[in-house]
Every structure is written in structure tokens, then in C-alpha cells.
Structure 1
Amino acid sequence: MTSPQFDTILKGGRVIDPANARDAVMDVGVLQGRIAALGPELKPSAATEVIDVSGHIVTPGLIDTHGHVFQHVTGRFGLNPDVCGVRAGVSTIVDQGGPSLMTLPAFRHFISEASDTRVLCFLSAYLVGGLEGHHYPQLYGPDDVDVSRTIDIGLANRDLVKGIKAHAEIGGMSRWGMAVIRQARDIARGIGVPLYIHLGQLWPEAGKGIDDPDAVIEELVPLMQAGDVLAHPFTRHPGGFISSKTGEVHPIVREAMRLGVKVDVGHGSHFSFEMARKVIEAGIYPDTLGADMHGYNTSAAEPSSDLHDNPFYGKTRFCLTHAMTELHALGMPLDRIIATVTSGPAEMLGMTGEIGSLSEGMTADVAVLRYHKGQFRLTDNSGGTAISDVAFSPAFSLKAGKRFDVDSPVVVQPEALAG
């Protein structure tokens, strides 16, 4: 008896793989956890299992570039990684700034190694990492950063550490100027990874404060280089891409793009349709799409009433596929949307040879998405709205060839948005 050529065939789906400029109905064959073949008619008899995915979109495994999944260690902020990951149709998630040089061993043992999801991190520049979602600004000054030791820890853990996270916003600038950002830059350069910068107010201003929120990004961009990342371009808080003086995209944002700086949505409770429209109408599209779910802004946790004044708190539900729907409503082409959760993140992480495409021989991380048509009403935390005629939701995924069905409470089902 002839051995099967494939463990699994995903049959008849619309395969969209931006890394290979592929958009066609075809089959995907998986063998021993890797992509074995793609073609218009792989023989069902050649597989142990055949899954009919006709009518679905099949993409490389989704990569969420902005999560907060250092559960328990970061307090109410950290979610369960598999709730945000494979149970939500996401193969890989990047924790943005949860672990620090002091807590990275716990992150490795209790989160990355213990999860079905591939969990990586952008290491916090701060000694304490993302405790309680950076709720206490007194823990995040220049005296709370150890540049040389963080470089050492990052270099020793390059399998997990894919970047450095820091915050450039008016609360921090009113306290320390750009001192912490320069330290974070030096750490990133010392490890050889991207610097990922939060934009938009995080902490209350100290003392006199900042008269001009535009000063933050004006002083930040000259410190950045190609491959670094600006997060929250669509933030509803001051200090982002939109100038407080003109109401339009700040000219220095275009200078950042010329430098080769990348843009990550970093959705979270920051996301504003008003700001997003201005940025996209100016011709600036995000390179990657991070959902930025955490315990203050998603249905996976119930934030207590004392957190409602926290700038991270959010009332609207979202997840990675819901954020993809929002990008569609803003006019982004489908292939570019898929690229923000596949090939774009793989490039940001320096992992294009491992994840982010459906090339033969690659790890068989595959997402199978439902593509709903109708009228879907979308709302942000400022009360802004948009209507989309398409909505995405995860059906199931393969992580290294193993199937994971979707049962996560964070997933927004499009049926709840119809009307």
C-alpha cells in the first residue's frame, strides 16, 4: 500500500499569499508540519485527511505583532496567549514590552514554552517591563533602564527577543525628555533588532507639561532608522501622526517613511476612524497589524470600574480579524490587508524564511478565514463609526500542521455587527 503524500489537504480555498504574489483558488498540501505542495487539483487520495475550505480565504498563519500575553506577571494587563493566539485563529503573537531583562526567564518558561501559540517578544527597555500596563509612570524613567545588561540578555535570547519596546508620548516627555528613548535606541542597536515606539499619550503630564504634542514625534523621528517601527498611527490620543496644529499628517511622518521606518497599527483602545481616514487618505498604509488586546480592553477579561479612567481602557470589542475588517472599511486593498498579518510581520521579526508565507518547505502555519458579505457597522472608542461590506472571521488554523479550532471569547463574530 502506497504511503500518503500528505497528512492534510486544504481543498478548494482562495489562497492569498502576498509573499509569493499568489491569489488563486487552489489546494494546499501539508506533510510532517510543513507545506508540501500547492496546486489546482491535489488528489484527495494522496492525503490522510482532506478538509474542504471552498468559499474560504486561505492565508499564511496570522501573526499578531502587538499583544499583551504575559499572563499573571503583568497583573490585570496580561491575557492568556492561546486565547489571543491559536484559539483565535492566530499562529504567532508578539508580546510588546511585557517581559524585561529581569522577567524574560519567566516569560520563556511559563508563556512561550507552555503555549500552543508561537509567542515571541519585543523586550521592554525598562527594568520592570509592562507591569499593570505601565500604569505607574514613576517606574519608567531613565534611572529604571540598564542599557548594557538589557543588551546582554537580548543577545542571549535572540530566539525570543525580536525587538525593543519603548514609549514616546507627552507624559514621559514632560518628565524625562527623550532620555529613555535614546536608551531604548542604544539597546536596540546593541542587539541588532528594531526599535518599536508607542505613540499617543500614555501617562498624565508632569509639572508644566508639553505645550505642543507635535514636539514628541518631531524629536523622535531623527533617532530612528530603517526597520524601526512607529505604533498607533491612528491613535485618538495627542502625540501621534496627526498634527495638533493642522489636523493633518505631520510632515515628519513622511520623513520617517523615507528613512524606511515601518508602521504598525497597534489597534487597542487607541484606534480612531477619524485619524485613520486622515492617515490613509494621505497615502500612508500600515505595514503590520497588531491587535493590542489586553486585560483592560477586551472581553477576555472584565476590567473593574476603577480602570475606566486608564487611557488603555476600551469599551468596544475587537480582535485581529475584526481589525482586518476595519482596514477594509478604510479602503485598504485585500492583498495589503493580508500582508499586514503575514509577510509584513515576518519581515519585521526577521523571520521571512520561517513564517509568513506558504512556500513549499516552510512551516505549515495556515489560517482559514471566513469572508462575510453584508453591511457591518464598526465603532471606535471615540464613538466614530464606519460601514464595511465585508467582514473577516477565523474558521480554524494550522500551527505547524496541527489543527486548532476557534473557540476564544475575544473573537468578534461579524453577525453581531450586521445591521
Structure 2
Amino acid sequence: MWDLLLHGGRVIDPASGRDGPADVAVRDGKVAAVAAGLPRSQAARALDVSGHLVLPGLIDTHTHVGHGAGYWGLDPEPVAWRTGVTTWVDAGSAGAYTLAALHRNVAAPSPLRIHAMLNVAGTGLVGRTGEHHVLENLDVDTSAAVAAEHADLVRGVKARIDRHTVGPHGLEPLRRARLLADRLAKPLMVHIGYGPPDLADVAPLLKEGDILTHCATGVGTGLVADGRATDTLLRLRDAGVLFDLGHGSGAFAFDVLEAELAAGITPIVSTDLHLRSVYGPAYDLPTVMGKAMAAGLSLADTVAAVTVRPARALGLSSGTLAVGSDADIAVFEAEAGAFPAVDVHGGVREAPLRLTNTATYVAGRRLPPRAAEPPPVWVPLSAAQQRAEADRQARVRTSVRRLERPEDFDEPFPRPERTATGGAR
């Protein structure tokens, strides 16, 4: 007997090479069967998902979930249940001094699967920027020892390399991050942005399997020139370096991504979701997936970019619906049309699909709705974002439908009997 059967949907699981009609059966938190026409009588609960996409639980490779422990960290649970993201990779919110808190307060109690890229700066992202200004906090030996204590949590090393973060130290923070990644035998994720250092400076320190994040930023120099991918970017591609979108609040330009796609560079699709970008223009992973498709990525390639490809890049067991895997499942409505999508510079394209999550399961259990907290005082919102947040809070307050007809309460509970004095008992 299966615990759950999702029947009638279109299953897209790039890890298994599957794209077509199929049912998905779950038992004891694992995928028990995937095939067309599975018998509904064998399931304790059978749900009809006809007309929907059934995907592996999505992986967001670049997020900041150090909630309550720094400038950028958000609570992932109010986002996960409505977006299909079951695996969250925190990209450097915690360093050696704060990793234990991320594990104890965020990862361990969460129903979600949370992993971390360890910031080479021991402080992590307690502030908006500047974590590399004090080199004494970039201690490779200390970071390696802490990572060993949390080996299941740490999937790589993160370093933000731009002029605001490194200050007067240039490439030295990146050199230390390279040493740390090599010590751990894990990939190095490098943030690029406002140079210097520029991409040409960063590139010699990257190896096969490393991850260049914010790869479609419109402010980084050395990515695209005259509408074409630069030689530096192509050399990184040929060397086996991986590329990560990392949309965020200011790191996505359609023309850059389009030039990269034309050069055969297909990035992992991620949000860089944090306390600012969750209010737009990133919003969530399904929104960013729509933007990737608006730039020319196919649905199948987009699904691969949020499931099997990040799983392989970071050695994760998630991102698949293969029999025996954890039953992390995301169910979506997919509406075809021409939906406006914007980048962070005002560029507009049209997405061919709009994905709306209708159910998210972790280990076979459906995630319940969770309301998000209001933004903290240090998050700058535009007037339009403030109005949208006020509207969200108002809708949460008035979302309970009140039933007022007597017949609405006939079943399943009988009306209370009245006593001789007219009171209920």
C-alpha cells in the first residue's frame, strides 16, 4: 500500500530522463514507483494532478537563509511551501564563527533540506558588505576545522569578490578561499560584481567544478562585450567552471544571459533570495525560472537547471524522482502565453510559461502554508514594494472566509442540545 499517489500529471525528471505522462507513488517518505496507470486502489490517498507538471522538489543553489543572524537572511519556510523549493543552499551567510548557529537555529529544526557554502570570512554576512576587510577573520585553518565538524551541512566555499567587499585587499580573500576549497575538496563559489577585481583577475583562481555566481549580472566587467561572451568567459566554460544565475536584487540582465546562452553557456538557475530580493525583482525560484525561459531556455533545460544540475554540482541526493529517492515533489500549473518579465535594469522580455505551484512535498509530506513576517527596518523598499507588502498583510488578515448560514454547520458535528433554560450543553 502506498501512502500517496499523484496521478495524471506530466512528470519531468531530467535525472531519470523522464518527460511525459506518469503517476508518482510514495511510501515511507520515498518514491516507490513512477509509471503511467498505477492503480489508485493501492494508495491510501490518491490525488488527481491532471494538467499539472510534477517535478522533483526544486533546488535553489544560491540563497541566504541565516534568518535573524545578519543583514541578508530570510526565513525560507514562508517561501518554500508556495514555490516548490525543497532544497535550499545558503551561499555564504555563515562563516566559521557563525556556522554552528546556522546549523542549530535554521537547518536542524527545518522541515526543508538546507545546506551551506561556508563563507571564507569567519563573520559571514552579518553586515551588508565588507566581510573581507579584516584579513584576520579569513583564517583557513579555523574554517577547515569548523567545516569538518559540520561536514553534512557544508557543500562548498563562498567568497564575494568585488571592490566593496574586498576593500584594499584585492585578490587575497579569493586566494584564501581557494586554499580553503582545496583543503575541503569542495567547489568554490565566487561572487562577482563591481570591480576591481574583475573577471580576468578572478578567472586564474577558478578550477573545474567551481561556480561563478551572478554570471548574468549587468554590472560585472569581462562577461560580455559587444553582445558576445568574452574570451575569458569562454575559457572558463571550456575549463569546466559552472555558472550560476544568482538573480538577487541587482545581478540579472537579459542581454548578458542571452549572449551566454548563444555561446553555449547554460547556467544553473538560482535566485540569490534574501531579505531584499524576496520583495522583487527576484521574488522566488519559479519567477526566475520564467525569466530564464524568457531569455530562451527551454522548459526541460530550465527544470534541469533547478534539479539535477545543482544536485550534481554540490553532491546532493535531491533533485530527482528516481525510485528510492526522497519523495521531494513540486506540483505546478503551467499556463502558456506571453508573460512580461523584467530584469534589474528595466529590460523586458516575454516568458512563454507562467509556473504556479499548487503543492510542495518534502519526504512525502505536504508543506503547510506559512505567512511571512514583515520586512525588518533596514530593508529599503520602494514605494511600490511598500504598497505590495501592505496589501499582502491586509489579505492575510482578511483571508478567513466566514460561514454564516445555519446549514453550513450541520455536518459533521450535530448542533448542541438546548437545556430547559435555553442554554447549550
Residue deviations 1:364-388 (CA, integer Å, cap 9, x gap): 1111111011221111221110112
Assess, with a 3 A threshold, how the Cα gap between structure 1 residues 386 and 148 changes in structure 2: closer, same or farther.
same
Among 231, 235, 238, the alignment partner of 2:217 is 235
Pair 1:392-2:355 in alignment = yes
Offset at residue 80 of structure 1 (A): 0.5
**Distance in 2 (alpha carbons) for counterparts of 1:216 and 1:197:** 12
**Distance in 2 (alpha carbons) for counterparts of 1:375 and 1:279:** 23
Residue deviations 1:35-73 (CA, integer Å, cap 9, x gap): 000111110000000011111111111011111110111
Pair 1:265-2:245 in alignment = yes
- 1:67 paired residue number: 63
Assess, with a 3 A threshold, how the Cα gap between structure 1 residues 140 and 268 changes in structure 2: closer, same or farther.
same
- 1:364 paired residue number: 327
Offset at residue 248 of structure 1 (A): 3.1
- 1:318 paired residue number: 283
Residue deviations 1:271-324 (CA, integer Å, cap 9, x gap): 1112222222222111x221111112223xxxxxxxxxxxxxxx5352100111
**Distance in 2 (alpha carbons) for counterparts of 1:84 and 1:155:** 30
Assess, with a 3 A threshold, how the Cα gap between structure 1 residues 262 and 317 changes in structure 2: closer, same or farther.
closer
**Distance in 2 (alpha carbons) for counterparts of 1:374 and 1:216:** 39
- 2:9 paired residue number: 13
Does the CA-based 8 Å contact 2:93-2:124 persist in structure 1?
A: yes
Offset at residue 153 of structure 1 (A): 1.0
Equivalence map 1:101-250=2 (5 Å): 101-134=96-129, 137=130, 139-172=132-165, 175-201=168-194, 216-239=198-221, 241-243=223-225, 246=226, 248-250=228-230
Among 306, 319, 325, the alignment partner of 1:341 is 306
Does the CA-based 8 Å contact 1:395-1:405 persist in structure 2?
A: no
In structure 1, the residue corresponding to 2:11 is in which secondary structure?
A: strand
- 2:255 paired residue number: 274
Assess, with a 3 A threshold, how the Cα gap between structure 1 residues 182 and 292 changes in structure 2: closer, same or farther.
same
**Distance in 2 (alpha carbons) for counterparts of 1:407 and 1:16:** 27
- 1:37 paired residue number: 33
- 2:345 paired residue number: 382
- 1:25 paired residue number: 21
Q: Which amino acid aligns with 2:128?
A: G
Does the CA-based 8 Å contact 1:232-1:240 persist in structure 2?
A: no
- 1:253 paired residue number: 233
Offset at residue 192 of structure 1 (A): 1.2
Q: Which amino acid aligns with 2:115?
A: L
Assess, with a 3 A threshold, how the Cα gap between structure 1 residues 275 and 251 changes in structure 2: closer, same or farther.
same
**Distance in 2 (alpha carbons) for counterparts of 1:100 and 1:407:** 28
Does the CA-based 8 Å contact 1:81-1:111 persist in structure 2?
A: no
**Distance in 2 (alpha carbons) for counterparts of 1:388 and 1:87:** 20
Offset at residue 409 of structure 1 (A): 6.0
Q: Provide the identity percentage.
A: 33
Does the CA-based 8 Å contact 1:200-1:240 persist in structure 2?
A: no
Q: Which amino acid aligns with 2:331?
A: V
Does the CA-based 8 Å contact 2:133-2:166 persist in structure 1?
A: no
Residue deviations 1:228-269 (CA, integer Å, cap 9, x gap): 0000111021335224xx453221111111111111111112
Range moving further from structure 2, 399-408 or 19-28: 399-408
Assess, with a 3 A threshold, how the Cα gap between structure 1 residues 25 and 240 changes in structure 2: closer, same or farther.
farther
Gaps spanning 5+ residues in structure 2: where?
374-425
In structure 2, the residue corresponding to 1:274 is in which secondary structure?
A: helix
**Distance in 2 (alpha carbons) for counterparts of 1:218 and 1:370:** 42
In structure 2, the residue corresponding to 1:271 is in which secondary structure?
A: coil
Q: Which amino acid aligns with 2:266?
A: Y
Q: Which amino acid aligns with 1:143?
A: E
In structure 1, the residue corresponding to 2:44 is in which secondary structure?
A: strand
In structure 2, the residue corresponding to 1:132 is in which secondary structure?
A: coil
Gaps spanning 5+ residues in structure 1: where?
202-209, 300-314, 411-419
**Distance in 1 (alpha carbons) for counterparts of 2:123 and 2:19:** 44
Among 73, 78, 96, the alignment partner of 2:91 is 96
Q: Which amino acid aligns with 1:399?
A: V
Normalised to the residue count of structure 2, the TM-score between the two structures is: 0.83
Among 401, 406, 411, the alignment partner of 2:364 is 401
Q: Which amino acid aligns with 1:242?
A: V
**Distance in 1 (alpha carbons) for counterparts of 2:67 and 2:165:** 25
Offset at residue 156 of structure 1 (A): 2.0
- 1:309 paired residue number: none
**Distance in 2 (alpha carbons) for counterparts of 1:17 and 1:138:** 39
Assess, with a 3 A threshold, how the Cα gap between structure 1 residues 138 and 91 changes in structure 2: closer, same or farther.
closer
**Distance in 2 (alpha carbons) for counterparts of 1:281 and 1:337:** 15
- 1:46 paired residue number: 42
- 2:400 paired residue number: none
